[in-house]
A and B are shown apart, each in its own frame.
Chain A
Amino acid sequence: MADTTVLTVSDLTVTYRGRGRVVAAVSDVSLTIDAGRCLGLVGESGSGKSTIGAAVQGIIPADGTAEATGRIAIAGRELAPLTDPAWSEVRGREVTSVFQDPMRSLDPTMTIGRMLNRYTGSAEASVAALERVQIRRAGEVLKKYPHQLSGGMRQRVMIALALAPGPRLLIADEPTTALDVSVQAEVLGVLRESIEDAGCAVLFVTHDLGVARHMCDDIAVMKDGTVVESGPAEDVIARPSDAYTRRLMASRITLDTDRTRPVGAPEGAVVASMEDVLRGLERPALDVAAAWSAGDLTWQDFTGPTASVGAASGREDVHLVEHVTRASLAVNEVNKTYSTRVRGRRVDNHVLKDVSFEIGYREAVALVGESGSGKSTLLRIAGGIETADTGTVDAQGVAGEGTQVVFQDAGASLTPWRTVDELLRERIEHTRTGRGLSRAQMRDMARSTLELVGLDDSVLDARPTQLSGGQQQRVAIARAVVVPPSVLLCDEPTSALDVSVACSVLNLINLLRHSLGISIMFVTHDLAAARLIADRVLVMTGGEIVETVPAERLAQDITTDYGRRLVDAVLA
């Protein structure tokens, strides 16, 4: 069946060398894809999946920074794994691609029509090509520039462009990762249908097993540059044989995940934190990892006494309250308008319109909404980064001090030239708890909080750049809870992380929430993550809260259009 095999990769090894270091990105990988089949290449960052995607497009530069050996054959034609002149006859014709960010891969100086007509030959054919990717009013779209289209539309145009030359092989590298979650499902649907029509072979690179299962016939799971498991999609998903695949599967959260228990497989750092918490609560020690694996561990086991102020700081004056009525965060009729000048005229953008809500003591609330709905502005106002035009925000809860924020990009939220100790100390210094404490006492607080988030005290004197993405996020969380806040505001804290790391961060937030008794406001696009953390989900549209749904009944009760799209976006 040699004539139906479109892509053959055998024994591909790619090594990058830079600044005296040699990194093997891919070692000894072999793959084949037949015409009309879709192979999903799944793995976390650094697994080598994108390098394979680059190698089969011939875009690994032959300038000495990379070395590659092995065979690549596309439609029966032998090609070198590094760029050479032969590739230019193949690339853009036999092999085309859809990249992650359509804004960067479309030419901003050209109309869609000019780009597309080069392949289709005529405006009529271009209209037909756009209609195939379900773009309505294609004639108008042809006259537009990329920046005039929405993200979802751009990616559809990208798909149309990629399929226009009639390729034998299509590379889709994380084609929906950069898009708003609510349009991801639509774009994936369009991609799926168009590639079925086109009948080409597809290499689908993704970090998301759920998306891979939805899109692909076969799946190859990659880790550290090698394929650890491959086979038909359903088999790999339903009966993963490799331990890593199983862990990846367990890390996936859906709308059916049990929210009363930790998710995923037991993980060293979180287990350590849990033991720490149990010791702090003076509960009997138990084999946390075993209980977790057996599914016997619930968040209830870690719930600290009500209003135990200063649990993380180890202070003596822990005072207990039986019943708390005061809200931890009360947002009252908050308005915010941004004004810009467009061609000399003032344009007002009313971002928040009389927004009011409360977060109770120990309660967790998720705020979902599309980009521009005002949810991030609300978080910034609650966090004191911006001020409201009118209305009040009260974060004087019964326990904890003020609000703290965990940002989306933890790496960027840590000042690169300050040590972790200095960063944590800064927070302690500016609280009532920290008043009058010596440097050594503050360092002890920092140390015990780092332990609580699963980091060794060697991290204290490290700078953020020396830490991995997951470690940075944990340091950011440690800074936020070293003096427990009344409300912890989380701004998409997991969206930039790999699934397994995201999973452990979610577990950590849940653990801290239950053991420290802090309230949480969780801003996100990801309904599955929102449901896992929050008791209530608020849906925001156009600067207003339009819907409040209990997390338990999220999938059933959510009614707004945007909410439904978010539910659809969580691919089971």
Chain B
Amino acid sequence: MPFSRRRTLERVEAAPTARRDSAWSALGPGERTSLIAMAAIVLVAIIGPTLMPYSPIIPSGSQLLPPLSSGHVLGTDVLGMDMATRLVAGMQRSLLAAVLVTAVSAAIGTFIGVVAGFRGGWLDSALMRFTDLFLAFPAMIIAMAIAAAIGQSLGSAMIGIIVVWWPLYARLVRGEVRRVVALPHVQAARVSGVRGWRLLWRHVVPAVMPTVVVTASLDIGAVVMTLAALSFIGLGTPAPAPELGRMASDGMKYFLNAWWVAVLPSVTIGLVAFVFNYAGDALRVVLRRTGV
């Protein structure tokens, strides 16, 4: 051989770590902070309650101690339960519920949206009209009605929210699927002979997932707020279980002489919602880097 074949072939320089590094470096300082803050909140929600010295549902000191009292950094509530402990426990409860609600809504909505968008035709019309049915009612009212019907508990509030939440995902995903199906790479896969579920799973769904994940992470904040709102009006967790919305609602009565009992849970709700919203945007920047 007059030529060394190896030398003339083109190579790619694979740099497995380069992608992750550049995704992080594409973020601004605000976005980085939000992701770190989100991680911190999740960490506190997971391990926080076990580290707290008190129980969230047993009084541990004098009633209505102001913040910065000795032994009670954030004070105590009207029954003498430690505020910090209750806030951390409430955060865990709220976040867990919100993540569950969002995940279940996203899963149902994604499934229906994918089927409708990919199959098209009468099935698409039928599924979408069904979806519209749920979208037509005011979300909060339906959630209240369902929660009131099944009885006052966190579970019924969650079910109520799921019922009104999934149609948004179904809509979103159906649109995305229809867009992606028309892209050249899906047509090319069809030409290669890939059909049906395999085509959907390998070539379509991965393009839709970033949108779903970003929307879900943005939604977690909103679901925390909605759950809190349902609890606030008395439809969520019954007392004395620590739930942020309930705590804010109960604390309102003592607002004038013990502001912290109402304000601290409200601030916590706002903080969680804000951080998750901002982190969702950061996540979008990271995930959008794949193109499609």
Contact = CB atoms under 8 A, between A and B. Distances in A.
Interface of A: 19-20, 268-269, 271-272, 275-276, 285, 287-289, 380, 383-385, 403-405, 407, 409, 412-418, 423, 426-427, 429-431, 451, 454-456, 458-459, 461-462, 465-467, 471, 476, 479
B12 A467 contact: yes
Contacts of B14: 458, 461-462, 466
Interface size class of chain B, counting residues whose CB lies under 8 Å from the partner chain: 20 to 34
B276 to A, nearest CB: 26
A17 to B, nearest CB: 12
Nearest to B5: A272
A569 B184 CA distance: 28
B8 A416 contact: no
B138 interface: no
Contacts of A268: 8
Interface string B224-238: 000000000000000
A287 B4 CA distance: 11
Contacts of A471: 10, 12
Interface-centre pick from B11, B12, B206 (highest chain A CB count, 10 A) = B12
Interface stretch (B36-44, B47-55, B70-78, B186-194): B186-194
Contact of A458 (B11, B189, B190, B206): B11
Given A275-B5, A285-B1, A413-B184, A384 B10 contact: no
A384 B14 CA distance: 35
9 contacts: A19-B26, A272-B5, A416-B185, A431-B193, A454-B10, A456-B9, A458-B14, A466-B12, A466-B14
Contacts of A465: 290-291
Contacts of B193: 426-427, 429-431
A409 B184 CA distance: 8
B130 to A, nearest CB: 24
Contact of B3 (A271, A407, A456): A271
Interface-centre pick from B3, B10, B189, B193 (highest chain A CB count, 10 A) = B10
B8 A458 contact: no
Interface in B12-41: 12, 14, 22, 25-26
A454 B10 CA distance: 6
Given A287-B2, A404-B191, A417-B290, A459 B185 contact: no
A415 B189 contact: yes
B145 interface: no
A385 B185 CA distance: 12
B252 interface: no
Contacts of A427: 192-193
A476 B22 CA distance: 27
Contact of A269 (B10, B183, B188, B292): B10
A408 to B, nearest CB: 8
A296 to B, nearest CB: 15
A110 to B, nearest CB: 30
B4 to A, nearest CB: 9
A454 B194 contact: no
B190 A269 contact: no
A20 B21 CA distance: 10
B288 interface: no
B5 A276 contact: yes
Contacts of A19: 22, 25-26
A288 B3 contact: yes
B178 interface: no
A188 to B, nearest CB: 30
A414 B188 contact: yes
A467 B12 CA distance: 7
A275 B3 contact: yes
A476 to B, nearest CB: 7
Nearest to A471: B10
Contact of A454 (B3, B9, B206, B292): B9
A81 B193 CA distance: 53
Nearest to A430: B193
Contact of B185 (A276, A383, A414, A456): A414
B203 interface: yes
